[in-house]
Amino acid sequence: MEKIAFLGAGKMASAIVRGLIESGAIAAPDIACLGGNGTSARQLAQDTGIRHATSTADLLDGADVLVLACKPQHFKQLDPGLGTTLTSGKLVLSVLAGFTAERLAAAFPNARAVAAVMPNTPAQVRAGITAWTAPATLPVSDADLVGKIFGCLGKVVRVEAPLMDVVSATSGSGPGFFFELVNAFEHAAVGSGLPPDTAALLVRETFAGAAKLLKKTNATPVALRNAVTSPNGSTLAGLQVFERHHMHRIFQEVIAASVARTRELGKM
């Protein structure tokens, strides 16, 4: 594994760092990080043993790969040297929502290659899914390196560049949408009389078990839904409420809103 520098030390950078180290893919001293004005980078270094860089130049000194993990709106405030000498000959990977591979190639013209990457927060427990895209000219060795880095966090899939905004809304933001569904389900169960701790246990185990069943059987969601739905039964009664409130349309609007915001972030 090549030496890796992380510009940004938030939850995603932390998840990637920890996944790399815990999987044995790379030794902690071969990773460096640099954060903003907060203490997250220093804390990450203390917790994991990676090097806490003192400047952008120090961060990139000796690094082969730069993982751009700052907030998208802070991109234009970064050290101008990043786009010229500091990333010369290095592989630049961006986890910034909305940043296309084309924009990255223009911003880092001296990099050996660039790729836009979208992991998600279940990477924190090495159960994530990472989608990525890159120009067709990306060397095979660098494509393999992307898979090796993010494979430490879960599954990895390469997609066509025009799909990345939808990927961001689907798998990038998807955990947030899922957690809100769990939250709503728990509140409904409590509102119907269950104690909060019992409601939380039942709802979370139900969702986790259903997801495991879906993954293990490889059946369609519709087939599994039908298997638990009896004619004129209680499941059907609940599903009919979803239908009356146009649940599918709601999710279409959710994804559309997330895609639109992703594209706005990509222009910042």
pLDDT tens column, 84-112: 889 999 999 999 988 899 999 999 999 99
Which pLDDT belongs to residue 118? 95
Q: Which domains are assigned to the chain? A: 4-159 (3.40.50.720), 174-265 (1.10.3730.10)
Locate 25 and state its tokens.
């893919």
Which pLDDT belongs to residue 188? 98
Which pLDDT belongs to residue 265? 86
Residue 267 carries which side chain, given as an amino acid letter? K
Which pLDDT belongs to residue 68? 95
Which pLDDT belongs to residue 255? 97
Q: Who's near 72: CB < 8 A, 6+ residues apart?
A: 96, 97, 98, 99, 265, 266, 268
**Pairing, β 128-133 against β 154-158:** parallel
Tell me the angle at which helices 40-48 and 11-22 cross, rounded to the nearest 10 degrees: 10
Q: What is the pTM (predicted TM-score) of this model?
A: 0.89
Q: With H, G, I as helix, E, B as strand and everything else as coil, classify residue 101.
A: helix
Which pLDDT belongs to residue 2? 86
pLDDT tens column, 131-170: 999 998 899 999 999 999 999 999 999 999 999 999 999 9
Q: With H, G, I as helix, E, B as strand and everything else as coil, classify residue 51.
A: strand
Q: What stretches in the chain show pLDDT beneath 50?
A: none
**Pairing, β 65-68 against β 91-94:** parallel
Q: Is the dihedral of CA 99, 100, 106, 110 positive or negative?
A: positive
